[in-house]
Structure 1
Amino acid sequence: MPESVPQPVDVIRARALDGVAHGFLGRRGGVSTGIYAGLNVGIGSDDDRAAVATNRARATDAVLPGAQLLSPYQIHSADCVTVLAPYEDRLRPRADALVTDRPGLAIGIITADCAPVLFADLAAGVIGAAHAGWKGAIGGVTESTIAAMEALGAKRDRIAAAIGPCIARASYEVDDAFARRFEAADPANERFFAPGKPGHYQFDLEAYVVHRLAAAGLTRIEASGLDTYAHADRFFSFRRATHAGETGYGRQISIIGL
């Protein structure tokens, strides 16, 4: 039988980033199979290495053909690295955000429920990408990215930011200790938690990241409103895979480039 042809790569774009090559990609359009079926780009997954490499190439071509894709070794930190030249995957910096002003480089963030945030100051020719899980978000990863962009000549009042698909409040159950951690940082953070079952809450990660971006002075902010957990046919989800008792999980990528 002939080999099946992968679906087209699913590229979600944000109006706030019009004019710059970018995309929030889901699981459609890849060559991985089994629990990783689709466009799994996770170098750290147990998926076939050749399939992951093919998927990463397909993802890059869908956003900025011919570009060099660079992503960090993500550690749920607030650390941001400025990228001025390509590097090998084995030399990925340990960080959760990248910024650059170099044409031909595509910077990517890997997620599987956390919030991917893409940034651009078109006038300055400076872009950024941040992985905002709850640890990075409360730690200030978006603020670190904005500061690194400013160091390359970006202006805060010109920076646009878009938040891609991530786990939504309806799907993100957390315990009381989790909520208390956020309220200790700022009592106003209570508004990002809705009551859940006894001793638990539903956390709105996307709204919290929007709040952090706005508090940092950004005025052009767009959120996708897409829930990675709820759409198994379109997105990978760490929490969904865990609840299903699967032995691994795929990762999707969000890319921006000049």
Structure 2
Amino acid sequence: MDAFAAAESRAPAALPVAESGALRALPGIAHAFFTREGGVSTGIYRGLNGGLGSNDLPENVIENRRRMTAHLGLEAGTLVLPWQVHSAEAVVADAAWERMSAPHVDGVATKTIGVAAGVTTADCCPILFADPHARVVAAAHAGWKGAIGGVIEATIARMEDLGATRSGITAALGPCIRQKSYEVGPEFAARFTADDLDNARWFAPGDKPGHAWFDLGGYVIARLKRAELGRVDDLGLDTYPDEERFFSFRRTTHRAEPDYGRMIAAITLT
């Protein structure tokens, strides 16, 4: 038995994932906010690293992704992941693509059975969307740039292009960095208040002079609710303090580590 076959034979039938109760209740939908648990990567990437953009061994990432698609009941190579650039752009996809040909966007919508719309994160907000009646699903990567720029709204618009209705869409926010872990400088807060003075409510006084704790998750949830979707769910999970379950870019930066793993959030039609 070769090394890959051995890895395949010991792969768990189901991975320990985070799920949205709201999405889980929908008919014909399978989803997962994958954690770092259940994978074959080692060292600083220990666990289920899904990032081909990391410096992890590619064969480890490919096996980790195979486990993810198997968890969703799909074949290997069926994740539809954009080349994320912290943009406010989203696209429609009807098939998976190779990484080097992936569009440079941060949201993807599909109504194709057999593929999973997904995004990679390591502190930014992963958002999964589903309209079970129109049979449309989507995923968005919302860092602060994408969130303030409009990636949420762009992803919803692509779902509408496929026949979804806002009142029929359920959206769920997965593990991301939360306010108690996200201290930012004064110039950061100024960007948000310059866009809308009401954005000051997402900042609390920080521990350092002139700094503030930013509630990225709260800001994202507010934009989702402003879009008048049928239902909005928030798992309320913080990536930064929970090293056993989640990768975190900010934690890696504070430790001066050379790289970090990525988690994948994905959703598919069944």
Q: TM-score, normalised by structure 2?
A: 0.92
Question: For residues 172-191 of structure 1, what are the structure 2 equivalents within 5 Å?
Answer: 172-191=182-201
Alignment of 1:225 onto 2:236: yes
Q: Which letter does structure 2 place at the counterpart of 1:155?
A: T
Pairing partner for 2:19 from 13, 20, 27: 13
**Pairing 1:190-229 to 2, within 5 Å after superposition:** 190-196=200-206, 197-229=208-240
SS at match of 1:119: strand
Residue 84 of structure 1, CA deviation: 1.6
The percent identity for this pair of structures is 53
Describe the SS at the equivalent of 2:156: helix
1: CA distance between counterparts of 2:168 and 2:144?
26
Deviations 1:178-215 (A, max 9, x none): 00110111111111111002110000111000000111
Q: Tell me, what secondary structure is at the counterpart of 1:166?
A: coil
Which residue does 2:266 correspond to in 1? Answer: 255
The one-letter code sitting in structure 1 at the alignment partner of 2:71 is A
Aligned-pair distance for 1:6?
6.5
Query: C-alpha deviations, 1:30-62, integer Å up to 9, x for none?
Result: 000000000001011000010010011111111
Contact 1:176 1:201 in 2 (8 A): yes
Residue 106 (1) aligns with residue 112 (2):
no
Cα distance per residue 1:140-178 (max 9 Å; x no partner): 000001111011100011110000000010000100110
How many angstroms apart in 2 are the aligned matches of 1:130 and 1:60? 18
Aligned length: 257
Contact 2:118 2:138 in 1 (8 A): no
Q: Is 1:32 the counterpart of 2:41 in the alignment?
A: yes
Counterpart CA distance in 2 for 1:63 and 1:208 is: 29
Higher mean Cα deviation, 78-87 or 133-142? 78-87
Runs of 4+ aligned residues of structure 1 deviating over 3 Å after TM superposition are 3-8
Q: How big is the shift at 1:134? A: 0.3
Aligned 8 A contact 1:70 1:89 in 2 = no
SS at match of 2:148: helix
Residues 9-158 of structure 1: matches in 2 within 5 Å? 9-17=15-23, 18-19=25-26, 20-66=29-75, 68-158=78-168
Secondary structure of the structure 1 residue equivalent to 2:140: strand
Letter in 2 for 1:53: I
Asked whether 1:168 is paired with 2:178, we answer yes
| Structure 2: distance between partners of 1:9 and 1:50 | 19
1:237 corresponds to: 248
| TM-score normalized with structure 1 length | 0.96
Q: Distance in 1 between matches of 2:176 and 2:47?
A: 18
Counterpart of 2:93 in structure 1: which amino acid? Answer: V
SS of the aligned residue for 1:56 comes to: helix
Where in structure 1 are there 5+ consecutive unaligned residues?
Answer: none
Q: Cα deviation per residue 1:3-38 (whole Å; 9 max; x = unaligned)?
A: 996776221111221231001011000000000000
The 3-state SS of whatever aligns with 1:249 is coil
Deviation at 1:66, TM superposition (A): 2.5
